[in-house]
Amino acid sequence: MDLNFLDFEQPIAELEAKIDALKHVGSDSQLNIHEEIQQLERKSEALTQKIFSNLSDWQISQLSRHPQRPYTLDYISRIFTDFKELHGDRAFADDKAIVGGIARLDGQSVMVIGQQKGRETKEKIRRNFGMPRPEGYRKALRLMKMAERFKMPILTFIDTPGAYPGIDAEERGQSEAIARNLFEMSKLSVPVVCTVIGEGGSGGALAIGVGDKTLMLQYTTYSVISPEGCASILWKSAEKASEAAKALGITATRLQDLGLIDDIIPEPLGGAHRNMDAAASSLKQALVKSLNELANIPDAQRADKRHERLMQYGNFVE
């Protein structure tokens, strides 16, 4: 079993392995092997299409944290030019679980901020699995205020299991750090576009997620609690995660239907991890489009419009 593929991706993995093997044999240049490869590739594509046309919420949740999925820095290097990473909250430390800095998007100056996961074990630990501590959120806020000062749009990339639940994080005011960002982001006078690129894990995600537009890549999730967490509390068993995922309605399509997000960014066949360049170009298109739309709003009205939008969220009767 290939660990870089999820269990429902295994049939694709097997076909891909065969294709790879044939390609090696194929160097002996026999004509029919080339044809064989093409046939297998068509078959793999059809199979991928079939599997991906009917994904369950739980499968999408697994895709959103696929070990091969592109992370914030993967997108930054493909979408922006002149990215200069800026470090530290100026008070305590530089949290590696959040990266940020200035860059250009098609020549336009922007501030980019996102949670960052690691791919190899060492890097995963250095990035704390994408779980920020208070200093990470405070660094993000520092950069947002800087962006406001220099009138640069802010683009945030959400990809976290949640804010770090640790002793040190609590000591340094995890709650306050998140709350402060919500408070300040609601007032920013520059355009803010927030995109979920992987896992949108609760308050830890929202802490860089208050903006004028919320976008989600096709196979990402955004939720008040992880399906496993929800299942273990409400169903008293983490095994019920797939049921919880469905009940919570955490996918992009569901959240768009509920009016909680603005747009869904299509991913290449088989998910962003199968073709990072294509995923990045799709994301870039969506960002440019969003910024163009937001450019028409006068700066003085931005915060009011954002506030009005937030005030609409909720269901109740009187």
**If DSSP codes are grouped into helix, strand and coil, which group holds residue 194?**
strand
244 scored as a contact of another protein (CB under 8 A): yes
Does residue 116 contact residue 125 with C-beta atoms inside 8 Å? no
Sole window of 3-11, 86-94, 171-179, 267-275 interacting with another protein (rule: CB under 8 A): 171-179
From CA 23, how far away is CA 37, in angstroms rounded?
7
Member of 70, 198, 209, 271 binding another protein (CB under 8 A)? 209
180 scored as a contact of another protein (CB under 8 A): yes
Please report how close the Cβ of residue 279 comes to another protein at its closest, in angstroms: 23
Nearer to another protein, 190 or 280 (CB): 190
Nearer to another protein, 7 or 168 (CB): 168
Tokens of 192: 């803010």
- Binding map of another protein across residues 216-235, x = CB under 8 A, - = no contact: ------xxxx----x--xxx
Residue 113, Cβ density class (10 Å: 0-12 exposed, 13-18 middle, ≥19 buried):
buried
Nearer to another protein, 120 or 171 (CB): 171
Residue 27 per-residue DSSP state: G
Member of 73, 169, 276, 279 binding another protein (CB under 8 A)? 169
Please report how close the Cβ of residue 133 comes to another protein at its closest, in angstroms: 11
183 scored as a contact of another protein (CB under 8 A): yes
Member of 247, 278, 288, 297 binding another protein (CB under 8 A)? 247
115 φ/ψ angles, rounded to the nearest 5 degrees? -75, 145
Please report how close the Cβ of residue 168 comes to another protein at its closest, in angstroms: 9
**If DSSP codes are grouped into helix, strand and coil, which group holds residue 226?**
coil
257 φ/ψ angles, rounded to the nearest 5 degrees? -60, -35
167 scored as a contact of another protein (CB under 8 A): yes
Nearest CA-CA partner of 40 in 11, 69, 9:
11
**If DSSP codes are grouped into helix, strand and coil, which group holds residue 157?**
strand
Tokens of 112: 């980019």
Sole window of 5-13, 62-70, 104-112, 164-172 interacting with another protein (rule: CB under 8 A): 164-172
Please report how close the Cβ of residue 58 comes to another protein at its closest, in angstroms: 15
Rounded to the nearest 10°, the torsion over CA 230, 128, 64, 58 is -30
Does residue 295 contact residue 288 with C-beta atoms inside 8 Å? no
Beta carbons within 8 Å of 8's beta carbon, 6+ residues apart = 51, 55, 59, 62
Measure the N-to-C terminal CA separation of the chain; round to a whole number of Å. 55
Residue 9 per-residue DSSP state: G
Nearer to another protein, 193 or 250 (CB): 250
Please report how close the Cβ of residue 280 comes to another protein at its closest, in angstroms: 26
Member of 208, 210, 252, 272 binding another protein (CB under 8 A)? 210
Q: How many CB atoms lie within 10 A of CB 318?
A: 2
306 scored as a contact of another protein (CB under 8 A): yes
Member of 165, 239, 269, 292 binding another protein (CB under 8 A)? 165
**Per rule CB under 8 A, count of chain residues that contact another protein:** 56
Tokens of 98: 């959040």
Member of 2, 170, 239, 277 binding another protein (CB under 8 A)? 170
**If DSSP codes are grouped into helix, strand and coil, which group holds residue 295?**
helix
* Binding stretches for another protein (CB under 8 A): 163-167, 169-176, 178-180, 182-187, 202-203, 206-207, 209-210, 222-225, 230, 233-236, 243-244, 247-250, 255, 258, 260, 306-307, 310-311, 313-318
